[in-house]
Structure 1
Amino acid sequence: MKVEMNVKSIKRHCAAGYKEGDKVIYSEPNITSCEGSPLCLYALSSFIPYLTAFGRETEDKDWINQLRELQCPDPANTVVFSLRRN
């Protein structure tokens, strides 16, 4: 299952260069940048445990099904990504 991550919002300035609307696709075991979107090692490394669970078929009651957003670990320049399964 693919997971589409879209940049929903940016607090201040993203050092990696993300802009609202940028898209990154996770399809195990690959992470792909769409249309020139950057790939931030810090953000993606913090997302990996969640993406591997979110990208799998799970029972409806599984906690991972409540996940709708992830944010990068930078507290001053936070980037929020919305998640969607495809």
Structure 2
Amino acid sequence: MVIDPGYNNKVIATVVSVKGHCAAGHKVGDKFEVSVINAGNMCGLCYNRIFPALCTYQFDGNFPWWVGDNAIVQCPDQKNLVSIKLEKEKIEK
């Protein structure tokens, strides 16, 4: 059993665009609650791609090129590109 590391933020991943055909079946509007210990039923390849950004957001980090509390990350399949918006929501403790 995985122990909760004490997250600062909840992260929601939303599919915002699909160019071509997503082999995992993801469609625009699909939403996943993801964390560093839960892929939220997202394609493993896409989850692997968002993981660095997810870790950053989950534990209150940010990058200068991200705007506000969301970032766009793309899956590794450049021919059938899926774009995912990550949004963080503060967890009240």
Pairwise TM-score range, normalised by the shorter structure: 0.7 to 0.9
Residues 69, 81 of structure 1: 8 Å contact kept = yes
Distance in 2 between residues matched to 1:64 and 1:24, nearest whole Å:
25
Deviation for aligned residue 1:27 = 2.8
Q: What is the identity, as a one-letter code, of the residue corresponding to 1:63?
A: F
Q: SS of 2:46's equivalent?
A: helix
Compare CA radii of gyration and give the structure with the larger one.
2
Paired positions, count:
78
Partner residue of 2:57? 54
* Deviations, residues 38-57 of structure 1 (Å, cap 9, x unaligned): x2111111211221112112
Which residue matches 2:13? 5
Check if 1:14 corresponds to 2:17.
no
The TM-score with structure 2 as length reference comes to: 0.73
**Aligned-pair identity (%):** 33
Aligned partner of residue 39 in structure 2, secondary structure: strand
Structure 2 residue runs of 5 or longer lacking an equivalent are: 1-8
Q: Structure 1 stretches (4+) deviating beyond 4 angstroms?
A: none
Q: TM-score, normalised by structure 1?
A: 0.79
Shift of 1:63: 1.4
The alignment's C-alpha RMSD in Å is 1.8
1:11-40 CA deviation, whole Å, 9 max, x = no partner? Answer: 01101100110011123322324xxxxx21
